[in-house]
A and B are shown apart, each in its own frame.
Chain A
Amino acid sequence: MHADDGVDLPVIELAHPMPGFPDEERFALVRLDEDGVLMGFRSLSREDLQFVVVPPGPFYPDYTPELDDETVAELGIDTAEDVLVLLVVHAGDSLAATTVNLRAPIVINRATRRAAQVILEDPDLPLDAPLVA
């Protein structure tokens, strides 16, 4: 995945809510830097709620999560090219203390603008992997 995949999407509908945020159904994806690496996944109903997300490519080039049939159906995915995978970032006090969630990426179907935070089966994937090793 290339950094220029970080297109802005104005209205994204979650197929099911993110754990911990049961009432947030609609988000927008906005760029936070010029390179399109850092992005904001912003709630449309709660102005103060935003997750910082990044594409895995620049940080974990080998990260290729396998989506189960249920997710593919739920998001209406027809082709892999429509799929945008983003990692939720926990911004720490420094870059070294900043982590990403590899276990539960946000998966967006750019064609239908449906998304979900998908919990992957692989128990070895950490919820708090360092953003940069």
Chain B
Amino acid sequence: MLVLSRRVGESIVIGDGADKVTVTVLEVRGDVVRVGIDAPRSVRVHRAELLEQLADTNATAASPSQDAVASLKDALRNRG
């Protein structure tokens, strides 16, 4: 991992040309660092923990047993 020290107002640039992503340190307060991210629209930017949560949620939802699907089907039908 590349480790860089930056002050408030300073940036790092990842990639180059039209694909470059610029990350700027906006504010440091206690243990909270606010960063601004300037990226092309094709680059999706997400908080890492949200992606992890979503991966977990997807893994939990994936491939329910036939029994679970059947009982869900019944429950929804009975609900009208």
Residues of A with Cβ closer than 8 Å to B? 16, 18-21, 32-33, 35, 37-38, 48-52, 69-70, 73-74, 88-95, 98, 101, 103-104, 117, 119, 127-128, 132
List residues of chain A with CB within 8 A of the CB of B52: 19
Q: List 23 A-B contacts (CB under 8 A).
A: A16-B44, A19-B52, A20-B55, A33-B73, A33-B77, A38-B76, A49-B63, A50-B64, A52-B61, A52-B64, A52-B69, A70-B41, A70-B44, A88-B61, A90-B61, A90-B64, A92-B68, A98-B75, A101-B57, A119-B44, A119-B46, A119-B54, A127-B54
Mostly, the B contact residues are helix
With an 8 Å Cβ cutoff, the count of chain B residues facing the other chain is: 28
Which one of B68, B75, B76 has the greatest number of beta carbons of chain A within 10 Å?
B76
Given the known A-B contacts A32-B73, A95-B72, are A69 and B54 also in contact in the complex, defined by CB atoms under 8 Å? no
A91 touches B58 (CB 8 A): no
Q: How far is the CA of A73 from the CA of B64 in the complex (A)?
A: 32
Mostly, the A contact residues are loop
B51 within 8 Å of A (CB atoms): yes
